[in-house]
C-alpha cells in the first residue's frame, strides 16, 4: 500500500495525513473481495525497514494502527472478514499486540474473506525467524535434517496456514517488491501501477484481478 506520503505531499499536507487516507481505503478493497472472487487478501501495513523513518512518523503510524483496529474491528467482524497478522510482534507495544490478538480471536470463525495484515513484517526477517525455529527442532530431535526439503520451511513461516499469493499489486509507480513475501511469491504474478494507494479503489482492483484471470500461468512448465 505505497504512496501515502507522496499523496499527502502533493496536497501540501503532512505524511500522516496520507497514512490516514490510506487506512480508509482498506475497507473498500476488503469489501470488494467477495464480489470478484478473492478469498485471501494480504496488505503490507508496516515493514521491518519502516522503523528507519522519523520518530514522529513511526509514532503516528503506531497510533493509527491502534485506532484503526479499535474503529474497524466491529465492521470487519460484521462483514465476515477473518483477520490475521503476520510479522514479528516483539518490537510492537503491548496495547497494540493485545488489540491484534483480540481482533484475531473475534474474527476467527469468519469466512467471507481472509484478511492478513503484515505489520512489522519483512520477508528476510520471516525466513530468518523460520530457519531458527526449524534449526531448534533439528537440534532437539523433533526434525530429521535428512527430511528437510522445500516443503518443510513453509511450515515454519508466518503464513503457514495461508495459500501462496497468486497476484501481488504494488501501488505508487515503484517497480520493486520491497521484502514482501519473498518465499511465498516465487510464482506470483505482479502488477506495478502508478496509482498512489489513497487513490486505489474498487474499480482498479477489480480490473487488475480480471487481467490476472486471463494470464497463462505455467509455473515453469510448457503447455502441450
148-168 burial, b for 16+ CB within 10 Å, e for fewer?
eeeeebeebbbbeebeebbbb
Res 216: pLDDT? 76
Q: Does the pLDDT value for residue 219 go beyond 80?
A: no
- The overall pTM is greater than 0.75: yes
| Neighbour tally for 201: CB within 10 Å | 14
Q: What is the mean pLDDT of the chain?
A: 95
Closest to 168 measured CA to CA, from 73, 74, 42, 3: 42
> pLDDT by residue (tens digit) across 34-85?
999 999 999 999 999 999 999 999 999 999 999 999 999 999 999 999 999 9
Rounded distance between C-alpha atoms, residue 209 and residue 166, angstroms? 10
Catalytic residue check, 50: yes
Rounded distance between C-alpha atoms, residue 69 and residue 102, angstroms? 10
Longest dimension (CA), the chain: 59
Q: Does the pLDDT value for residue 218 go beyond 70?
A: no
Catalytic pick among 4, 50, 144, 147: 50
Would you state the cell numbers that stand for residue 151, as one nine-digit string?
516443503
> How sure is the predictor about 215, in pLDDT bands with cuts at 50, 70 and 90?
confident
Radius of gyration of the chain from its Cα atoms, rounded to whole angstroms: 18
Percent of the chain that is helix, strand, coil (3-state, to 5) = 50, 15, 35
Catalytic pick among 2, 114, 120, 158: 2
Res 209: pLDDT? 97
Rounded distance between C-alpha atoms, residue 189 and residue 167, angstroms? 5
Res 86: pLDDT? 98
With a CB cutoff of 8 Å and minimum separation 6, the contacts of 54 are none
Amino acid at each position: 500500500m505505497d504512496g501515502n506520503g507522496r499523496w499527502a505531499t502533493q496536497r501540501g499536507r503532512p505524511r500522516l495525513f496520507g497514512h490516514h487516507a490510506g487506512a480508509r481505503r482498506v475497507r473498500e478493497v476488503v469489501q470488494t473481495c467477495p464480489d470478484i472472487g478473492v478469498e485471501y487478501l494480504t496488505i503490507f501495513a508496516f515493514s521491518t525497514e519502516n522503523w528507519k523513518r522519523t520518530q514522529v512518523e513511526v509514532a503516528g503510524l503506531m497510533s493509527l494502527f491502534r485506532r484503526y483496529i479499535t474503529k474497524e474491528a466491529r465492521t470487519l467482524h460484521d462483514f465476515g472478514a477473518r483477520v490475521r497478522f503476520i510479522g514479528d510482534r516483539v518490537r510492537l507495544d503491548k496495547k497494540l499486540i493485545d488489540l491484534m490478538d483480540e481482533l484475531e480471536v473475534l474474527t476467527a470463525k469468519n469466512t467471507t474473506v481472509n484478511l492478513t495484515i503484515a505489520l512489522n513484517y519483512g520477508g528476510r526477517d520471516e525466513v530468518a525467524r523460520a530457519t531458527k525455529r526449524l534449526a531448534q527442532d533439528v537440534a532437539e530431535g523433533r526434525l530429521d535434517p535428512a527430511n528437510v526439503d522445500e516443503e518443510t520451511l513453509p511450515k515454519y513461516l508466518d503464513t503457514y496456514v495461508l495459500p501462496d499469493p497468486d497476484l501481488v499489486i504494488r501501488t505508487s509507480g515503484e517497480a520493486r517488491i520491497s521484502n514482501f513475501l519473498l518465499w511465498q511469491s516465487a510464482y506470483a504474478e505482479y502488477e506495478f501501477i502508478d496509482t498512489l494507494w489513497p487513490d486505489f479503489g474498487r474499480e482498479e482492483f477489480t480490473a487488475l484481478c480480471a487481467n490476472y484471470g486471463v494470464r497463462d500461468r505455467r509455473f515453469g512448465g510448457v503447455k502441450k
